Chain A
Amino acid sequence: MNSIDATIAEKGLMSSEMGSERTLYPYVTGTSVIGIKYKDGILMAADMGGSYGSTLRYKSVERLKPIGKHSLIGASGEISDFQEILRYLDELILYDNMWDDGNSLGPKEVHNYLTRVMYNRRNKFNPLWNSLVLGGVKNGQKYLGTVSMIGVHFEDNHIATGFGNHLARPILRKEWHENLSFEDGVKLLEKCMRVLLYRDRSAVNKLQIAKITEEGVTISQPYSLKTFWGFSAFQNPTKGAEGSW
């Protein structure tokens, strides 16, 4: 009797894979997002690429968005799921404004809300395929946290998603320190984004840097980084080893 129940449950849970209504794999994806705390607030950087598998389909995707008065969200992963999350957050902020009670949702609250959403979706085997970075300042308190598609969440002084985990985190661990100035913060982010540009295949050389302080959110215009390809070894790389590349 147990085995019959199990098969019925399995069938109901997963459905037929043909008419499945759960996310199996992402289609249009954004690559890493990096965030750091600095003297006046939070700085975040993300490039503007939306890859469709191995092709670079969209080159002007804004992956950094302001939320309410106090928060900034950056997302990597499936772009359509990010747009859905923005709709949920829009509704959340709207309802909060409708209370008109003089209080507004801060970054900690938004982060908690996102964590619950992501974790519950994961439990239903239908995840929102994103890694989110949530930063903000409220009442002088800086906050920077992350949520993954399975609901893993934590807050830290510097956050990186996607390839940034492997390439940017070592740099941030070494060179981040308390009370970075705005210029130093941007330099540090650009250093990480440059390494990602060199070594992440889905990275694009068009990025935005977003800043959030007590005053508000500023998202920069898209710009590109300078890269260096002039190593003498690249002029004739196989000079000493014919047949290699």
Chain B
Amino acid sequence: MVVVKRFVLQVHRKSDMSKAVVDLPPKGGFSFDLCRRNEMLISKGVHPPSFRKTGTTIVGLVFKDGVILGADTRATEGPIVCDKNCEKIHYIAPNIYCCGAGTAADTEAVTDMVSSQLQLHRYHTGRESRVITALTLLKSHLFSYQGYVSAALVLGGVDITGPHLHTIYPHGSTDTLPFATMGSGSLAAMAVFESKFREGLTREEGIELVCEAICSGIFNDLGSGSNVDVCVITKGHKEYLRNHQMPNPRTYVSSKGYTFPKGLTEVLTTKITPLKEKVEVIEGNDAMEE
């Protein structure tokens, strides 16, 4: 009992001291304050809301003249497909694009943030952005959040130093590769790349290989599906081919459309409630003026 009292007193003393000290600005990175409370809730059986993940197959490869990025277009919320045609290839700079896998909000937010930081940097330096700048900004942000920002990215672009392709993992580590895949469909796509990739592919061959890898993910992985998006970046030029391939069309749509003529549905009761009530306006503002 005495020990507890002493402990409490000590705590009070500490807080008294801190009031005298100047308030420090809040440090960056993840605040772990709510972790204990969250763990307690989970142990009690409270389920946290499931977040929208992008399931995903994303790929990138370096070809003769630059970089080609590819992605599928399915976004999942647990077992449900919540978006059949979402955009997973994000704009970072005119010469740099980034595919994102993991939590959709995290990939959107982190790529938008780095995109605006790079824009300001371009104004400041007056030069075209470099891929390694985007890489460093992304990796240091993700590292400071210790993997809690669940964004796995394939970053590709062409700058003054040449074409570059990088993968960035949620904990902040990066790889520099000639071909890369990420996401739940990464193994299916990597099987295609490992058996068919060679250096010095032409543009057509590169696009075909990327599409084949994404299709392998779409058809063999449940977290990926719908259409294929492709982005080709070369020196001084980029082409964003949205829905370049659509291998999952809706096979039957009624050509006549759906019409519901009056009388098709049986009317059981009718009740009409007038919305406007008759209001009488009394002339004579003299009362107010007094």
Name A's B-contacting residues (CB within 8 A): 166-171, 173-174, 191-192, 194-195, 198-199, 231-234, 237-238, 240-242, 244-245
26 contacts between A and B (CB under 8 A): A167-B187, A167-B190, A167-B191, A169-B188, A170-B191, A170-B219, A171-B192, A174-B216, A191-B195, A194-B194, A194-B195, A195-B191, A195-B194, A199-B190, A231-B178, A234-B178, A237-B177, A238-B176, A240-B132, A240-B161, A240-B164, A240-B176, A241-B164, A244-B174, A244-B175, A244-B176
Cα–Cα, bound, A233→B200 (Å):
11
Tell whether, in the assembled complex, residue B178 and residue A166 are in contact, meaning their CB atoms are under 8 Å apart: no
Answer yes or no: B98 CB below 8 A from chain A CBs. no
Give residues 176-197 of B contacting A (CB, 8 Å).
176-178, 187-188, 190-192, 194-195
Tell whether, in the assembled complex, residue B195 and residue A233 are in contact, meaning their CB atoms are under 8 Å apart: no
Answer yes or no: B83 CB below 8 A from chain A CBs. no
A128 to chain B, nearest CB (A): 26
Cα–Cα, bound, A234→B177 (Å):
8
8 Å CB contact of A232 from B161, B177, B191, B199: B199
Cα–Cα, bound, A153→B86 (Å):
37
Answer yes or no: B131 CB below 8 A from chain A CBs. yes
Cα–Cα, bound, A198→B199 (Å):
17
Chain B contacts for A192, CB-based, 8 A: 191
Cα–Cα, bound, A170→B166 (Å):
25
B191 to chain A, nearest CB (A): 5
A238 to chain B, nearest CB (A): 5
8 Å CB contact of B178 from A171, A233, A238: A233
Answer yes or no: B99 CB below 8 A from chain A CBs. no
Answer yes or no: B38 CB below 8 A from chain A CBs. no
Cα–Cα, bound, A244→B164 (Å):
12
Chain A contacts for B135, CB-based, 8 A: 241, 244
Cα–Cα, bound, A195→B176 (Å):
20
Known A-B contacts A191-B195, A194-B195, A195-B194; the reply to A237 vs B187 at CB < 8 A is no
Tell whether, in the assembled complex, residue B220 and residue A169 are in contact, meaning their CB atoms are under 8 Å apart: yes
A115 to chain B, nearest CB (A): 25
8 Å CB contact of A171 from B162, B176, B191, B199: B191
Known A-B contacts A232-B199, A241-B164; the reply to A170 vs B188 at CB < 8 A is yes
Tell whether, in the assembled complex, residue A245 and residue B191 are in contact, meaning their CB atoms are under 8 Å apart: no
Known A-B contacts A173-B220, A232-B199, A233-B178; the reply to A241 vs B190 at CB < 8 A is no
Tell whether, in the assembled complex, residue A170 and residue B199 are in contact, meaning their CB atoms are under 8 Å apart: no
Cα–Cα, bound, A238→B216 (Å):
29
- The residue on A at minimum CB distance from B193 is A195
B261 to chain A, nearest CB (A): 47
Residue picked from B132, B161, B164, B187, most chain A C-beta under 10 Å: B187
A205 to chain B, nearest CB (A): 14
8 Å CB contact of B176 from A170, A198, A245: A245
Chain A contacts for B194, CB-based, 8 A: 194-195, 198-199
A45 to chain B, nearest CB (A): 15
Answer yes or no: B151 CB below 8 A from chain A CBs. no
Residue picked from A170, A195, A237, A245, most chain B C-beta under 10 Å: A170
8 Å CB contact of A241 from B176, B216, B219: B176
Answer yes or no: B211 CB below 8 A from chain A CBs. no
Chain B contacts for A234, CB-based, 8 A: 178
Chain A contacts for B162, CB-based, 8 A: 240
Residue picked from A167, A173, A199, A244, most chain B C-beta under 10 Å: A244
Tell whether, in the assembled complex, residue B191 and residue A244 are in contact, meaning their CB atoms are under 8 Å apart: no
In the A-B complex, the 3 residue pairs with the closest CB atoms:
A233-B178, A166-B187, A170-B188
Chain A contacts for B191, CB-based, 8 A: 166-168, 170-171, 192, 195, 199
Chain B contacts for A194, CB-based, 8 A: 194-195
Excluding A231-B199, A240-B161, A241-B135, 15 further A-B contacts by CB distance (< 8 Å) are: A166-B191, A170-B216, A170-B219, A171-B191, A171-B195, A173-B219, A191-B195, A192-B191, A195-B190, A195-B195, A232-B199, A233-B62, A240-B162, A241-B164, A245-B175
- The residue on B at minimum CB distance from A233 is B178
Cα–Cα, bound, A174→B220 (Å):
10
Chain B 120-133: CB-based contact to A (< 8 A → 1; otherwise 0): 00000000000110
- The residue on B at minimum CB distance from A164 is B191
